[in-house]
Amino acid sequence: MNSAELAKRAGVSVRALRHYHKIGVLAEPPRLANGYRQYGYHDLVHVLRIKRLSALGIPLSGMAELVAEGTGEDLLDELDRELETAIIGLNHQRHLISRVRSQRIVSHDACAQPGLVCDCNGCTGNSRDD
């Protein structure tokens, strides 16, 4: 298949294929007599793998190492740590949302009412500590 066919099947642009060749994440295929690149199905699988790794957050600049060596354990470990940090941050945000939902936060008009928590800054009533 030619570049356009491969690009269409993989869901990328022909320009992306050329970029993959330029940075070394996709090997140059053999060329026909007319100079057109001739790709095989293994190239399609390779491009789909590049797309999957990119979707995982692996930058193309680091992908050449991962693709060439077949494992890229350091890169995968770094990505795993970054994702773990992001998950911890997201879980913290969810916890804060849960706390806000569980409290009865009201406007300044209800500051003096018992059992209600005021979220205004200048209040001397039942203000929040956090």
Q: What backbone phi and psi angles, to 5 degrees, belong to 104?
A: -100, 85
CA-closest candidate to residue 47, choices 35, 60, 34: 60
**pLDDT score for 125:** 52
- CB-count exposure of residue 43 (10 Å: 0-12, 13-18, 19+): buried
What pTM does this model have?
A: 0.56
pLDDT for the residue 13: 96
CB atoms within 10 A of CB 103: 13
35 conformational bin, left if phi > 0, alpha if psi -120 to 50, beta if neither = left
pLDDT score recorded for residue 12 = 95
pLDDT of res. 81 = 84
Q: What pLDDT does 96 receive?
A: 87
What is the CA 31 to chain-centroid distance, rounded? Answer: 35
> What is the pLDDT, as a whole number, of residue 69?
54
pLDDT per 10-residue tile (average), the chain, 130 residues: 95 95 90 93 87 84 68 68 87 87 60 58 52
**What angle do the packed helices 60-69 and 73-102 form, to 10 degrees?**
130
pLDDT at 115: 58
| Residue count (the chain) | 130
pLDDT at res. 14: 95
- 31: amino acid identity, one letter: R
Residue 130 confidence (pLDDT): 46
